[in-house]
Amino acid sequence: MTRLSNDTLPHLPKTIATPDYDRTKVTVGIVHLGIGAFHRAHQAVFTDEVLARDPSWGICGVSLRSADTRDALEPQDGLYTLKVQDGGGETLRIIGSVVETLVAPEDPQAVLARMADPATRIVSLTVTEKGYCHNPATGMLDDNHPDVLHDLQNPGDPRSAIGFIVEALARRQEAGVAAFTLLSCDNLPSNGHVLKRVVSRFAELRDPQLAAFVAGVACPSTMIDRIVPATTDADRNVIAGALGVGDAWPVVTEPFRQWVIEDHFPLGRPAWEAAGAVFVPEVSVFETMKLRLLNGSHSTLAYLGYLAGAETVAEAMALPGMQPLIEGLMREEVSPTLPQLTGFDLVAYRLALIARFKNPALRHRTWQIAMDGSQKLPQRLLGTIRDRIRAGASYDRLVLGVAAWMYYARGLDEAGQAIDVRDPLARRIAAMTQGLDDPGEIVAAFLGLEDVFADDLGRDAGFRGALIGVLSRLLATGSAAELAGWQTPSP
Ligand code: CS2
C-alpha cells in the first residue's frame, strides 16, 4: 500500500488536517530522546501547532533502543497520524514536526553530533522512569547501574540518556558552544531537578571541569499529561482506511492534554503557549497533584484490574466497586496531602479524571500501566502514604494498590498462570519470592527493597500490618471480591 509521505500529503481527504507550514523550511532545534507514542501525541503535537511561527524548532527524534520508530517513520518523511478519540467521536490529523529520526545503538555518533550542533537548543526526554538510572526511592544516580558503569568507561560511545547528554555537553563545552536546555517530560516529581541531579553526578564522576559546565545547565521541570495507549494493528488498519494510504505508526489518544512548564530556556524555545502550554515559575505542585491523583489511581486500577481479569482501564473502571474505590482514594486519601493550588478546581479535576479513565474509545491496557511498578510506586503511592502516616491519617485504599503490585510482581495471576512482568527488578523479585506463600513473608521480602520503600516505610509496623491484611485477602479470595467490598461510596 502507498504510504503517508510528503508526496502523498496533498492527496489526503480534506477532512484530515495537515501541517500549516512549509516542511521544507523546518530545521532541527530540538533533539528528543525516547521518541515513543507519548512524545508523538504530546510535545510533538504542541510543537507542530507553533512551527508556522518559527520553523527552526523541528524535532530530531532519537530511539535509545530499537529501530522500530525510525523504520516506520523514515519512509513517511517523519509524518504520522494523530487520532484523538472519546465516546463522542474522533478526529484525525497529520503531524509534521518530527523531521529526523535516529537510532542511538546503530549510530551513537550521529546522535552526539546532532546534540552538539549549535542549532540544537533544547534536548527533551521521555525515557520513562527507569531511563534516569537512579534510585527511585532517593532520586540519586545509581553509581553502580550497568549503563552508568558502561558510559563512564566509554564516554564517547554512550548507551544511556544520561551518558549521551553529558558527552554532548562535553563536546559543546570543548567547542565553546552554550549548553542546551534540558527538558525532562517524564512522570517524575520535580523531573527537572531529578535530571539535573543525575547528569551532575555523572559529570562529576567523569571530570570536575565538565561538572562545572553541567552545573550551569537549565533544567526546567514540567508536568505533562495525556493518556496514550500503545498503538495496535487494528488502529493501523482503521487509520489507513480513512487516509487512503498506509501509516506504519499512527498514535491514538484522548482529547485531554496538559503541559505545565517552568519558563527557563536560556537559548529560547518554541511559543508552546500558543498551543495551550502553561508557563509557571514553579511546577512541582502541579506534578505532585498529577502524579498522586492520576498516576496513583492508574497504578491502583492497573494491578487490581489486571488481577480481576480486566484488560483495559475502562474495563477495570466497570468492575463492581472500582469506581467508588478510586473516587474515595482521590477524595479521602490523596487530596488532603496535596499542596495548596490557588484558583485550581480540584473537584472538577477529579471528576474529569474519572471520565478520562472511563473513556470507552481508548483501549489502554492494564498490563501497559503495570509495567515498571518498582520505578513508579514511590512517587505515585508511597509518598502519599508517607504523608498520611505523618498526619496520623488512614490509607486503607492507598495500600490496596501497593499490595496488588506485590501480588502481580511475583509473576503469577489468580489462576496460577504466569504474568509477563516487565520491571527492572522483575528477576530480583521473582527470586526473592520464589516458593513463598505466607503473606507475612512475601510482604517482608518486598519491604526489604530499599530502592522502592527506602528504610523508613520498610520498617513501619502499621504499614507492614496493613499490607499483610490486604495481601492475605487478595491471596484468599481475589481482587474482584476485594473490590466488591468497596461498592458503597463512603459518606
Ligand atoms: C500511565 C501514564 O503508563 C502509565 O504508567 O499511568 O503513562 C499515564 O497514562 C500518563 O501519565 C497520563 O498523562
Q: What's the pLDDT tens digit per position in 50-63?
A: 999 999 999 999 99
From the CA of 228, give the closest atom in ligand 1.
9
The Å distance, Cα 478 to ligand 1 centre, comes to 25
Give the Cβ contact number of residue 114 at 10 Å: 18
d(CA 404, CA 466): 12
pLDDT of residue 340: 85
Separation between Cα atoms, residue 166 and residue 173, nearest integer Å:
10
d(CA 385, CA 223): 21
Nearest atom in ligand 1 to the alpha carbon of residue 372 is 5
The Cα 123–Cα 219 span in angstroms is: 10
- Percent of all residues in the chain with a pLDDT value above 70, rounded to a whole number: 99
Question: Taking 70 as the threshold, does the pLDDT of residue 490 lie above it?
Answer: no
Going by their DSSP bridges, the two strands 89-95 and 80-86 should be labelled as antiparallel
Could you tell me if residue 190 is left (phi over 0), alpha (psi between -120 and 50 degrees) or otherwise beta?
Answer: left
User: How would you label 145-178 residue by residue, b for 16+ Cβ within 10 Å and e otherwise?
Assistant: bebbeebeeebeebbbbbbbbbbbbbbbbeeebe
Q: Would you say the CB of residue 225 lies under 6 angstroms from ligand 1? A: yes
Between CA 58 and CA 46 the distance in angstroms is 11
pLDDT of residue 260 exceeding 60: yes
Among 42-46, 84-88, 466-470, name the one with the lowest average pLDDT.
Answer: 84-88
Q: Ligand 1 centroid to 386 CA: how many Å?
A: 22
DSSP 3-state assignment of 278?
A: strand
Give the pLDDT score at 87: 86
Phi-psi region of 102 (alpha: psi -120 to 50; beta: other; left: phi over 0): beta
How far from 90 is each of 84, 94, 309, CA to CA, in Å? Answer: 5, 14, 28
The closest alpha carbon to 352, from 344, 363, 343, belongs to: 344
Distance from Cα 122 to the centre of ligand 1, integer Å? 24
State the average pLDDT for the chain: 97
Is 468 in a helix, a strand, or coil?
helix
Q: Is the pLDDT of residue 22 over 60?
A: yes
Per the document, the length of the chain is: 491
> Using an 8 Å Cβ cutoff, are 261 and 280 in contact?
yes
What confidence score (pLDDT) does residue 489 get? Answer: 57
The yes-or-no verdict on residue 30 having pLDDT over 90 is yes
Sorting pLDDT into bands at 50, 70 and 90, what band is 88?
A: confident
pLDDT of residue 341: 82
As a whole number of angstroms, the distance between CA 98 and CA 47 comes to 9
205-257 pLDDT per residue, tens: 999 999 999 999 999 999 999 999 999 999 999 999 999 999 999 999 999 99
Supply the pLDDT for residue 37.
97
Q: Are 321 and 483 in contact (CB under 8 A)?
A: yes
- Beta carbons within 10 angstroms of residue 412's beta carbon: 14
- Is the beta carbon of 298 within 6 A of some atom in ligand 1? yes
Q: Which three cell numbers stand for residue 341?
A: 493550588
C-alpha of residue 188 to centroid of ligand 1, in Å:
11
Ligand 1 within 6 A of CB of 199: no
Residue pLDDT, tens place only, 342-401: 888 999 999 999 999 999 999 999 999 999 999 999 999 999 999 999 999 999 999 999
The residue to which cell 501509516 is assigned? 247
pLDDT at 488: 79
Work out which ligand 1 atom sits closest to the CA atom of 226: 13
The predicted pLDDT at position 63 comes to: 98
Give buried/exposed letters for 249-275 (b at 16+ CB in 10 A, else e).
bbbbbbeebbbbbbeebeeebbbbeeb
Query: In b/e form, how buried is each residue of 388-405, taking b as 16+ CB within 10 angstroms?
Result: bbeeeeebbbbbbbbbbb
Given a cut of 60, whether residue 491 has pLDDT beyond it is no
List of E strands, 226-283: 251-253, 258-262, 278-280
CA distances from 355 to 318, 327, 351 (A): 12, 11, 6
State if residue 226 touches ligand 1 by the CB under 6 angstroms criterion: yes
pLDDT of residue 101: 98
Q: Which residues contact 369 (CB under 8 A, 6 or more apart)?
A: 298, 299, 301, 302, 313
| Per-residue pLDDT at 150 | 98
pTM of the model as a whole: 0.97
Q: What is the mean pLDDT of residues 138-149?
A: 96
As given in the structure block, the three cell numbers for residue 372 are 515498571
295 lines ligand 1 (CB under 6 A): yes
Binding site membership of 227 for ligand 1 (Cβ less than 6 Å):
yes
Count the Cβ atoms, other than its own, within 10 Å of residue 22: 11
Which 3-state string (H, E, C) describes 370-411?
HCCHHHHHHHHHHHHHHHHHHCCCCCCCHHHHHHHHHHHHCC
Summarize pLDDT for 292-342 with one digit per residue, the tens.
999 999 999 999 999 999 999 999 999 999 999 999 999 999 999 998 888
The answer to whether residues 102 and 114 touch, using CB atoms and an 8 Å cutoff, is: yes
How far apart are alpha carbons 236 and 211 in whole angstroms? 46
440 Cα: distance to centroid of ligand 1 (angstroms): 31
Strand order in the sheet with 258-262: 222-225, 258-262, 278-280
Ligand 1 centroid distance, CA of 438 (Å): 32
Atom 1 of ligand 1: nearest residue by CA position: 369
